[in-house]
Amino acid sequence: MKKISFRAERRDSALLSRSRSAYYIITILILALALSACGSNSTPAAIPTVMLDDGNSTSNTPVQVSNNDNNDGDVVASAVVVPVQEAKLAFLVGGNVQVVNVKVGAQVKAGQILVELDNTLAQLEVERAERTLRELTSPAATAAAEQAVANAQTTYDDTKKKVDSLQNRHADNTTISYLQDQVTLAQDALDRARQAYKQTGGLSNVNPARAKASTNLYNAQKAYNAALANLNWYANPPSENDVALGNADFNAALAALQEAQWYLSELRGESVSADATGAQLAQLQQTHADVQAAQARLDQTRLVAPFAGIVGAVNVIAGEFAQPGQVLVIVSDANHLQVKTTDLSERDITKVTIGDPARISVDALGEEFEGEVVGISPIANTIGGDVVYEVTIAFTEQPEDLLGGMSAEVSIGS
């Protein structure tokens, strides 16, 4: 019995020793993995859970080991240098490519035509619309419009005087009595002039006395007519028809004057209200619209550099058919670069905010630069089963010799 007990005791002691050795080995492996993760240039991946057994428990206790930040508490991630601006250019309409003006690596200016479709018909439309516009805006057309405004102004002034006189036609009793007296005096003067003229009846027409009497009679008759008309004007109110006609003439003259002025302003390139009307104005504005529409159709046949930069790709040659939406040319702004993270995990994105300072280490340059977080993508990507977010960081001062596509490591934090 003692021998068997001794053997059992030795067996238990050996098992305990082996369990402790395994525990020490696993612990060393964990420490080695942790040190390796700290030296990595990318956001460290989570270390798998390791099940440890101390030899005394019948159940396994999990121990989670992870490291998302560096020793300073900053968020670390891999990144790549990219242009601040990059344009992928495509046509809105399809067509046969007539000419390709650039090659990969070429420096281009803003507004430079890069690729052009066959646009013969579009150019003819532009020329026709511009020719019509030149005729409508010629010096002769402008002079005619100025004359039309002057004539319309005269008509307006005349009709306004007539309307004003209709509105002021009524007079008080004192004025009416005065006008009646004027008619009486004019009638008396006319009667005496007639009598004097009759007395020269036996004289020749070339006799000065008869000529004077004839002249006096004429003037007296004219004065009487004026006095009587003046009395009738003020004594008798205008009819409704007279008022309606006067107002209608005035409104027509006012509208004609306004339309003439609007048209002349349009010809001169001056500002015209949105509610301006007139047949000539409508024709001129439509011609302007035709020119713009024709030019827009012509512009759709040309791929133009939106900014100065370098051509990164040319995916077409002359003679090919370009499909609508097919990316043909890529232009990058090589003078303004930034970095974007490639593996910043969902565990770390909550620690990053716009405006956070950052340190940017560019592998190819072997230097570290200062930067600032300027953008955080609200949409996640999945890489190898991990959820990551793209963070954009701008250089405080862009380093020399920096090129798009260079790899980098960023450390975001205070």
CATH number, domain containing residue 96: 2.40.50.100
- Spatial separation of the C-alpha atoms in residues 224 and 182, rounded to whole Å: 8
Q: Residues 356, 394: one domain? A: yes
pLDDT of residue 72: 58
Distance (Å) of CA 151 to CA 148, 260, 277, 344 = 5, 10, 18, 77
What is the per-residue pLDDT across 103-112, written as a single tens digit (0 to 9) for each? 999 999 999 9
Q: Residues 275, 358: one domain? A: no
Residue 295: name the closest of 31, 137, 119 by CA: 119
Confidence check: pLDDT of 236 > 80: no
Q: Residues 91, 80: one domain? A: no
Distance (Å) of CA 368 to CA 240, 363, 401, 411 = 93, 9, 14, 10
Task: Read off the pLDDT of each residue in 6-27 and give the average, rounded to a whole number.
Answer: 45
Q: Residues 141, 253: one domain? A: yes
Residue 144: inside a domain: yes
Residue 290: inside a domain: no
Distance (Å) of CA 6 to CA 15, 19, 175, 178 = 14, 20, 153, 158
Q: What share of the chain is helix, strand, coil (3-state, %, to 5)?
A: 45, 25, 30
Task: Read off the pLDDT of each residue in 288-295 and give the average, rounded to a whole number.
Answer: 97
- Spatial separation of the C-alpha atoms in residues 5 and 174, rounded to whole Å: 154
Q: pLDDT category, 296, cuts 50, 70, 90?
A: very high
Residue 26: inside a domain: yes
pLDDT of residue 172: 77
Q: Which residue has the higher pLDDT, 371 or 60?
A: 371
Task: Read off the pLDDT of each residue in 149-161 and give the average, rounded to a whole number.
Answer: 96
pLDDT of residue 414: 64
Confidence check: pLDDT of 297 > 80: yes
Q: Residues 112, 178: one domain? A: no
Confidence check: pLDDT of 213 > 80: yes
Q: pLDDT category, 239, cuts 50, 70, 90?
A: confident
Q: pLDDT category, 384, cuts 50, 70, 90?
A: confident
Q: Residues 152, 102: one domain? A: no
Residue 93: inside a domain: yes
- Spatial separation of the C-alpha atoms in residues 298 and 292, rounded to whole Å: 10
* Owning domain of residue 27: 2-67
Q: pLDDT category, 367, cuts 50, 70, 90?
A: very high
Task: Kindly tell me the number of DSSP H helices and DSSP E strands found in the chain.
Answer: 8, 19
pLDDT of residue 235: 76
Q: Rounded to 5 degrees, what are φ and ψ at 55?
A: 85, -10
The total number of structural domains in the chain stands at: 4
Task: Read off the pLDDT of each residue in 380-395 and give the average, rounded to a whole number.
Answer: 94
Q: Residues 194, 113: one domain? A: no
Confidence check: pLDDT of 30 > 60: no
What is the per-residue pLDDT across 48-92, written as a single tens digit (0 to 9) for each? 333 333 333 333 333 332 334 454 568 999 999 999 999 999 999
Q: Residues 164, 271: one domain? A: yes
